[in-house]
């Protein structure tokens, strides 16, 4: 065994150096992988605001949301609805929004369609800014009247995501 030690020692040192280089580069790769960046930038429970500049120099505020409570708050801040008039359910691929007992119930069908389009574009801005909503590909908006015991649908709208990422109204 001792006679092989002088021959084996340089081979073992070389193997150790190669292994160290391998693990070094593996560590660098893992450190800068998209998965680690997602964990490094985990969104806190509080709502954060990020400024995105547009090509014409104007800035648009986009909110990063954590859950349906924050999404609801964002809709209240950016629409004419009150907190009691908006109910949100978030599924795997669908966001369902109920506008309950609002003054929009008295609108014409065309006015409600325009209002729903504005709500969908507001939701679109919020969910584009947050990676947790990456799988959402449909928004459903219902205008409903709720009494103590019943719920009456006034009008509903479906918005589907295009390949470009915009949500458009389904007219069928």
On the question of pLDDT at 75 being above 80, the answer is yes
If one compares 21 and 28, the residue with the highest pLDDT of the two is: 21
Sign of CA dihedral 79, 95, 97, 67: negative
In terms of Cα–Cα distance, which of 147, 144, 75, 139 is closest to 105?
144
Which pLDDT score is estimated for 128?
85
Per-residue pLDDT averaged across 145-160, rounded?
93
Residues 152/99, Cβ–Cβ less than 8 Å: no
Give the residue from 142, 140, 143, 135 showing the smallest Cα distance to 170.
140
Report the pLDDT averaged over residues 133-157: 92
pLDDT at 29 over 70: no
| pLDDT for residue 100 is more than 80 | yes
Is 80 exceeded by the pLDDT of residue 111?
yes
Tell me if 98 sits within 8 A of 153, measured CB to CB.
no
3-state secondary structure of 139: strand
Contacts (Cβ under 8 Å, ≥6 apart) of 120 = 139, 141, 157, 159, 167, 169
Q: Residue 42: is its pLDDT beyond 60?
A: no
Provide the pLDDT for residue 121.
Answer: 94
Q: What is the pLDDT of residue 84?
A: 92
Adjacent-strand bridge partners of 97: 88, 141
Q: Are the beta carbons of 141 and 156 closer than 8 angstroms? A: yes
| Token pair recorded at residue 87 | 């109910």
Greatest mean pLDDT among 16-25, 57-66, 69-78, 95-104 lies in 95-104
């Amino acid at each position: 065994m001792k006679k092989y030690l002088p021959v084996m020692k340089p081979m073992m040192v070389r193997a150790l150096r190669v292994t160290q280089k391998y693990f070094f580069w593996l560590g660098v790769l893992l450190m800068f992988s998209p998965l680690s960046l997602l964990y490094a930038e985990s969104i806190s429970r509080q709502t954060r605001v990020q400024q995105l500049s547009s090509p014409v120099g104007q800035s648009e505020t986009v909110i990063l949301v954590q859950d349906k409570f924050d999404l609801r708050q964002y809709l209240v801040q950016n629409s004419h609805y009150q907190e009691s008039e908006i109910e949100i359910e978030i599924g795997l691929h669908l966001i369902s929004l109920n506008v309950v007992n609002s003054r929009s119930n008295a609108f014409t069908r065309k006015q409600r369609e325009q209002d729903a389009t504005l709500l969908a574009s507001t939701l679109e801005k919020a969910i584009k800014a947050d990676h947790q909503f990456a799988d959402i590909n449909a928004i459903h908006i219902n205008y409903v009247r709720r009494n103590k015991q019943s719920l009456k649908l006034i009008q509903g709208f479906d918005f589907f995501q295009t390949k470009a990422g915009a949500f458009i109204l389904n007219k069928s």
